[in-house]
Structure 1
Amino acid sequence: MNNVASILILVFLTITFLQSGYDKIFYWKDNVEWLKGHFAKTQLKNHVPLALLHVLVLELLSTILCAVGAIELLLNSGRTFGYYGAVFSCITLLMLLVGQRLAKDYDGARTIVIYFIPAVMAVYWLN
């Protein structure tokens, strides 16, 4: 069990993006309406559904790659899927951070950093 920390972070990222993706899929209209208000004074105001779709796709990719990566790491110490899951997680979080900064939601941006730190740690450990 040399990879416990990496497995735990991959499971953490899997849960994070699985729940977020689930919320976007099953409450799409609510999310779009809330985000239209959130981004009303930004360049994204007319592109909210498309931006949300892009984030959803990245979250689902991150979820799948992190879950498969945790299983791969557990079964044979393979790092490929986990590494790409961590990288996609970082990219997703950076996209979310850009959105929060555009909306001038500095508390929301600060919260994303909490998720970004373990994602970067996973990239480093799995590289």
Structure 2
Amino acid sequence: MDNFVSNIVAITILLFLLITFLQSGVDKILDWKGNLGWLKEHFAKTFMGNMVPLLLSVVLVIEVVTALCCIIGIYYLVADNENCFALLAMFLACITLLMLLFGQRVAKDYAGALTITCYFIVAVFGLYIVSL
């Protein structure tokens, strides 16, 4: 119980990121065609237009890996007060969000980029918390 309490901020942020990336990954798996169609249209006028299936696959993999690291990170914080996986999860979340931000900026979807920035702030704060 002491490990849980002493890591409550990191655990809460990991839960937030877990929900974010697990839901996003599951949505991509369950509605691959819908996501692919929307993204092809979204990036049609950019240099990434022909790479959408590959890029969507890369984002899916990193989202799922990030979600798994969040689960493992929570476990190790509570069980052993070990932050290695929590640190990895927070870093992967930041990298994933930077990838998404780059895509939104290339597509000139500034409102979408702003939304990602809100998630990024949480992830960077989490990275800071677990790196202390």
Range class of TM-score, shorter chain: over 0.9
Q: State which of 24, 27, 31 in structure 1 corresponds to 2:31.
A: 27
For residues 40-60 of structure 1, give each alpha carbon's deviation from its aligned partner in whole angstroms, at most 9, with x where no partner exists.
110110010000001001101
The aligned residue for residue 46 of structure 1 is 50
Shift, 1:76, TM fit: 1.7
Structure 2: unaligned runs, 5 residues or longer: none
**1:108 CA drift (Å):** 0.2
Query: Could you tell me how far apart the structure 2 residues matched to 1:59 and 1:86 are?
Result: 12
Q: Which residue of 2 is the match for residue 76 of structure 1?
A: 80
Aligned twin of 1:57? 61
AA of the residue aligned to 2:6:
N
Q: Percent identity?
A: 51
CA deviations on 1:14-59 (whole Å, 9 max, x unpaired) are 0100000000011001100000000011011001000000100110
Q: Map residues 1-127 of structure 1 onto 2, 5 A cutoff.
A: 1-127=5-131
> 1 CA distance for matches of 2:24 and 2:96?
12
Q: TM-score, length-normalised on structure 2?
A: 0.94
Q: 1:125 is aligned with what amino acid?
A: I
Coordinate RMSD, CA, aligned = 0.6
TM superposition outliers: structure 1 runs of 4+ over 3 Å:
none
Structure 1 residue runs without a partner (length 5+): none
Secondary structure of the residue aligned to 2:49 is coil
Structure 1 range deviating more: 114-123 or 104-113: 114-123
Offset at residue 75 of structure 1 (A) = 1.6
